Structure 1
Amino acid sequence: MSLDKMKNYVISLATAQNRREHITQEFAKQNMPFDFFDAVIPKTSFDMANKLNLDINHHNDLSPNEISCFLSHVSLWQKAIDENLDYIAIFEDDVYLSNTANQFLSNTNWIPSDVHIIKIEKINEKINKLKNTKMINKHQLGKLSCVHIGAGGYILSSKAIKSLLNFIKNKPIEHIDQILFRDYFTSGEYDIWQINPVLCIQDCILYPDNQKFQTYLQWREKIDKPNKIKLSFFRKLIREVIRPFKQLCFKIFYPKITLVFK
């Protein structure tokens, strides 16, 4: 059986030398090919948006850098369509790869024909139980049953890309991971699958208190400093009563997302 090579692309600013050196070392450890994809910058955002026929003036309170991040991912999707790629693996340039990544990122033959979007990174410690699971190379591949954001590493088929490009038309520009793993997860055409153990993890998730690469995404700032909502005494009481039961259910029934390093 012939092996169809996976096309691995890492989105990175052309000037981000430290990040590029890091990524080159990560892929070289397992002798895996990849290409850099120069990230869109605010200065070129409007030109890229015009090429993609997108209105970036219509967005959900995003910074210029966040709009550029969105356009970087979408322009890479378009590149995959233009080059007739069956599958593409997309990474941001601050990821660390697991020691099993080469089993999945060297070819596409392991991907079932009914799977079109695969999340291959870890953001949450645990998630709802995966559905319709398949065992592939001692990894579990299953349908996500809850939102699991983050766009540090994922795989798309050409069918998924066409569906996503159609999905974002005439919608406000949003954080790329929110579009993929929240909005599309909720109402998109294809199911979203999760691989576990994961194949990669971003620096800010692996080392939250000692990051090597700083990030400036507003959604993380909002998570770190959420707007507090004042609750009534009754609602606070109910919350505290059910808290231990929720924690117990979370511990027992929610599978842990793991990562395997050498």
Structure 2
Amino acid sequence: MKCYLINLDRSEDRLAKMQAQFDSYNLNFTRVAAVDGKTLTAEQLSKLVDSVQIWEIPLPASEIGCFLSHKKCLELIAHGEDEYAAIFEDDVTLSKECTKFLSNTDWIPRGVDIIKIDTNDMLVALKDFIVIKNTEYELSKLCSKHLCCGGYIVSRNSAKLILKYMDKISVPVDNLIYDPKYRLFSQLKINQIMPALCMQIDTVSLIEADRQQLRIEHKKTPSLLGWIGRELMRPYKRNAHIISPGNIWARWTTSTRWMKVPFKR
């Protein structure tokens, strides 16, 4: 299976760490030069972003660069000859079991569009569990938001579909693909492998720092009543994906299970 690694030209240390990991597992990757959003002009950024803002804050330049970097990988897959390929960001730790899954595609069920092989330790809804033959790993259908694009396997056909939604940037790439709030999610058959094959560990996200700064800059001071209402709603918003009536009903009447996808180094 071809593996594409997204890496900024200025992040040589990350490239070296990923090269060492892949070498230790006898795996190869093709480096894809990441788009450095911070080198784009204000005019270029304006042309790339959708005029209608649907994200909670303006997208930082680094977020736009990340989006375009994944787009480059998806274009390579969409125009390639392989039925499936894997995409990685350069800040993940790989599992020692990854070789058996990245060496071939025989284990992938027919009709699956994406296999999410990373985890960000958030509660997610999964169903239709199947054990992968000759392994202790499971595949299941992803039914809820599970953000992060640290590592995923994508089919050639689904790469073509995703690209149709990437002409204009309105949300981060992980929300575009892995958030049911956006319509692409319902058009893809996304499976989660468990335990995960990679995870972002002990690494400071270059994008998250920019997100936090923008949240601070766009934070409005609420009135006393607004602050009280926000604090009362905070527990619900944090757990809305679990405690909403629809999800509670699904949990009791279907095989859907809420859990954190584990990762074994």
Scaled by the length of structure 2, the TM-score of the pair is 0.75
Q: CA deviation at 1:167?
A: 2.9
| Maintained 8 Å contact 1:9/1:37 | yes
Residue 83 to residue 233, structure 1, CA distance change in 2 (3 Å): closer
1:254 alignment partner in structure 2: 258
2:127 paired residue among 119, 125, 131:
131
Asked if the contact 2:27–2:99 (Cα under 8 Å) also holds between the matched residues in 1, the reply is yes
- What are structure 2's unaligned runs of at least 5 residues? 252-256
Bigger drift between 79-88 and 35-44 goes to 35-44
Distance in structure 2 (CA, Å) of the matches to 1:234 and 1:185: 30
Matches within 5 A, 1:110-129: 110-128=107-125
The one of 56, 64, 75 equivalent to 2:48 is 56
State the distance in 2 between where 1:148 and 1:22 align: 26
Choose from 186, 189, 193 the match for 1:191: 189
**May I ask how many residue pairs the two structures share in their alignment?**
234
Q: Percent identity?
A: 30
Which amino acid in 2 is paired with 1:15? R
Separation (CA, whole Å) in 1 of partners of 2:36 and 2:164: 23
Shift of 1:189: 1.5
Q: What whole-Å deviation, never above 9, does each CA across 1:134-175 have from its counterpart, x for those lacking one?
A: 111211100112100001111100111111112334x54321
Question: Could you tell me which residue of structure 2 aligns to residue 87 of structure 1?
Answer: 84
Cross-structure match for 1:181: 178
Match 1:157 to one of 155, 158, 174? 155
Distance change (3 Å), C-alpha of 1:256 and 1:185? farther
CA contact (8 A) 2:177 2:184 kept: no
Q: TM-score, normalised by structure 1?
A: 0.76
203, 212, 236: which one aligns with 1:221: 212
Q: Does the residue aligned with 1:123 lie in a helix, a strand or coil?
A: coil
Over the residues paired in the alignment, what is the CA RMSD in angstroms? 3.6
1:15 maps to which residue?
10
Equivalent residues of 1:115, 1:193 under 8 A apart: yes
Equivalent AA in structure 2 for residue 154 of structure 1: Y
Question: What is the distance in 2 between the residues matched to 1:223 and 1:126?
Answer: 26
Deviations 1:99-121 (A, max 9, x none): 11111111111111121111111
Structure 1 residue runs of 5 or longer lacking an equivalent are 1-5
CA contact (8 A) 2:141 2:189 kept: yes
Distance 1:186 1:152 in 2: 19
Q: 1:184 to 1:123 in 2, by over 3 A?
A: same
Tell me which residue corresponds to 2:67. Answer: 70
Residue 260 of structure 2 aligns to which amino acid in structure 1? K
Report deviation, 1:10.
0.7
| Cα distance change, pair 220–105 in 1 and its aligned pair in 2 (3 A) | farther
Aligned pair in 2 of structure 1 residues 222, 141: CA closer, same or farther (>3 Å)? farther
